[in-house]
């Protein structure tokens, strides 16, 4: 971890550049590493490569003046957070100083530079920059923590699929967009047949295995553009986006067959897993509860009719 602070000094006149650099050379006790440039374009390159902790720049320079240098630094995400002190002539107007601050300078110092003032302002700006950096890091950590908590609140921990809360939210968004879509969407509820037997015969860890492995297969078979979540217990919920009912039924049949044809094994025991699915199509004027009820009715028609089937809401 770097402990010294890098300071980049920019001035097209070598005597001025040297005078500022000597102010720091007279204080070898300070943990400063001084970089120098007589060219503003070159200074931009140095800033991007070295990422100094502070930049002190002259105002009046050829090619790129101090104001434009600051603007370019602030427009680059790599250098945008580097504090800049503007070094100005004694006759600089208050309007010009305001322009420098508006461009992004955090402070200014007048020429000829007083060493004590320069060191004091440098120390102050570096401390302030460090404080801002800590605040930014803490804010980022807070944002990351909030994002993790939000993901956890929306994710089923066992299967890593969307949970009921998240899926209902997705469904509501889909329904609000449905009138503008060229195709409707299809909702499906899928239930593992005889799920209780897995827990009764091999223990609840077997039931967890079935749910986890089935979640992987459903996600894989469903493909991109569609969604699958764990509805609760041994039930999953699927959303076929931009799909006609006939197309969704074909996809559901393919998924059902893939489950039935797959080889499942737990603790050396072969398992026979099948799904029963109930489908319904959004008619454009239904609410979430009505759609879920229709899919549920279709699902239980399949359960009563022999299981391992796909039933479409009539």
Going along the chain from its start, the domains and CATH numbers come out as 5-142 (3.40.50.2300), 164-312 (3.30.70.270)
Mean pLDDT of 61-75: 92
pTM metric for this prediction: 0.64
Closest CA to 35 of 75, 6, 56: 6
CA 61 to CA 104: how far, in whole Å? 18
pLDDT digits (tens, 9 = 90+) for 147-182: 888 888 999 999 999 999 999 998 888 887 755 554
Instruction: Reply yes or no on whether 68 is catalytic.
Output: no
pLDDT band, residue 4 (cuts 50/70/90):
confident
Task: Check pLDDT > 70 for residue 183.
Answer: no
CB burial of 56-89 (b: ≥16 within 10 Å; e: otherwise) equals bbbbebeebbbbebbebbbeeeebeebbbbbbbe
Of the candidates 25, 234, 249, 265, the residue annotated as catalytic is: 234
**What is the structure's pLDDT at 92?**
64
DSSP-derived 3-state class of residue 105: coil
């Amino acid at each position: 971890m770097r402990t010294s602070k890098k300071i980049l000094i920019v001035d097209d006149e070598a005597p001025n550049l040297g005078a500022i650099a000597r102010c720091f050379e007279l204080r070898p006790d300070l943990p400063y590493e001084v970089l120098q440039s007589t060219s503003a374009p070159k200074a931009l390159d140095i800033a991007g490569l070295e990422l100094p902790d502070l930049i002190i720049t002259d105002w009046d320079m050829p090619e790129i003046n101090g104001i434009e240098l600051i603007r370019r630094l602030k427009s680059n995400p790599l250098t945008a957070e580097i504090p800049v002190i503007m070094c100005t002539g004694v006759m600089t107007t208050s309007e010009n100083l305001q322009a420098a601050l508006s461009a992004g300078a955090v402070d200014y110092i007048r020429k000829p530079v007083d060493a004590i003032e320069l060191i004091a302002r440098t120390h102050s700006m570096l401390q302030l920059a460090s404080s801002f950096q800590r605040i930014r890091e803490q804010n980022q950590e807070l944002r990351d923590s909030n994002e993790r908590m939000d993901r956890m609140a929306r994710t089923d921990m066992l299967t890593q699929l969307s949970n009921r809360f998240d899926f209902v939210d997705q469904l509501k968004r889909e329904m609000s967009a449905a009138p503008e879509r060229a195709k409707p969407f299809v909702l499906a509820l899928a239930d593992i047949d005889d799920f209780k037997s897995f827990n009764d015969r091999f223990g609840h860890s077997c039931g967890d295995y079935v749910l986890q492995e089935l979640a992987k297969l459903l996600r894989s078979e469903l493909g991109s553009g569609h969604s699958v979540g764990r509805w609760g217990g041994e039930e999953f919920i699927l959303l076929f986006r931009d799909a006609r009912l006939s197309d969704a039924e074909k996809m559901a049949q393919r998924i059902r067959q893939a489950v039935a044809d797959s080889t499942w094994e737990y603790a050396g025991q072969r398992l026979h897993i099948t799904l029963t699915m109930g489908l319904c199509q959004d008619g454009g004027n239904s609410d979430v509860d009505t759609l879920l009820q229709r899919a549920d009715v279709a699902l239980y028609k399949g359960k009563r009719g022999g299981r391992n089937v796909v039933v479409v809401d009539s």
